[in-house]
Amino acid sequence: MESFNNQRKLLFDSLRRRGIGEQVIAAMSRVKRENFLPAEWYSYAYADEPLPIGYGQTISAPHMVAMMCQLLDVKHGLTVLEIGTGSGYHAAVLAELVDGGTVYSIERYEHMAEEARARLPSNVVVITGDGSLGYPKEAPYDRILVTCSAPDVPPPLLAQLQVGGRIVIPIGKGYQELFLVCKNTEIRKEAHGAVAFVLLIGAQGFHERDVR
């Protein structure tokens, strides 16, 4: 445990040097990343790198989770839609940030969704489905986070975003770039650097054959 505490401190100090705010760091400090990893990767929980979680999926590097949360500007009481639950780590951090709000998270694989549900707090609702279509039942959303790369911003997600809301999404296949999308009287997109994510598979995403 002492070793983990030291690793966590080093990680959070490195996030501060990257310009990550204290609200995001505090939320991440309340979530034990080791609880969202397969046992064989447990000792790497606070390494700042993506790690495999099975079924060809990964858990994002902590600095990427922090950066995406900061760009999303999550506040208490908001309703957030996450596309790509994975092991549930990013959803758990979002749950801390909304504190009184709700996170709806869509996972493509039912077995992963079931495992994530068992780990996540009560203000996270995990749905199995096609994340590229969003979740219209609970729309509109204040914020939408996409943790897999799409060909472009899926139109259903834009439609389900509240006016004044934000989407953070990686776009591209061979070369991917992280975008902040703001919806006001017009749609504004800002690029925030090269990234590497698994692909968003679905009706408004990539096709299964694109993964091969």
What are the DSSP calls for 77-121, one per residue? T-EEEEE--TTSHHHHHHHHHHSSSEEEEEES-HHHHHHHHHHS-
Contact 128, 111 (CB under 8 A): no
For 79-127, the pLDDT digits (tens) are 999 999 999 999 999 999 999 999 999 999 999 999 999 999 999 999 9
125 sits in which H/E element: strand 124-128
Contact 191, 170 (CB under 8 A): no
Identify whether 7 is part of a domain. no
CATH code of residue 146: 3.40.50.150
| pTM reported for the whole predicted model | 0.94
The radius of gyration of the chain's CA atoms, rounded to the nearest angstrom, is 16
Identify whether 19 is part of a domain. no
pLDDT at 4 over 90: no
d(CA 180, CA 168): 5
Ranges 12-16, 47-51, 179-183, 208-212: which has the least confidence = 208-212
The answer for residues whose C-beta is within 8 angstroms of residue 40's C-beta and 6 or more apart is none
Contact 83, 145 (CB under 8 A): yes
d(CA 169, CA 8): 26
Give pLDDT, residue 56. 79
Identify whether 28 is part of a domain. no
The answer for residues whose C-beta is within 8 angstroms of residue 83's C-beta and 6 or more apart is 105, 106, 131, 132, 134, 144, 145, 146, 147, 148, 157, 200
pLDDT at 151 over 90: yes
Identify whether 111 is part of a domain. yes
d(CA 95, CA 149): 22
Identify whether 36 is part of a domain. no
Percent of the chain with pLDDT over 90: 87
DSSP secondary structure letter of residue 203: T
Give pLDDT, residue 208. 81
Catalytic residue IDs: 60
Identify whether 5 is part of a domain. no
The model's confidence at residue 210, banded by pLDDT at 50, 70 and 90, is: confident
Give pLDDT, residue 212. 64
Identify whether 186 is part of a domain. yes
The model's confidence at residue 2, banded by pLDDT at 50, 70 and 90, is: low
Mean pLDDT of 122-146: 97
Give pLDDT, residue 78. 98
Q: Give the count of domains, the chain.
A: 1
- Whole-number mean pLDDT of the chain? 94
Range of the domain at 162: 64-211
Give pLDDT, residue 19. 95
Give pLDDT, residue 54. 82
Identify whether 6 is part of a domain. no
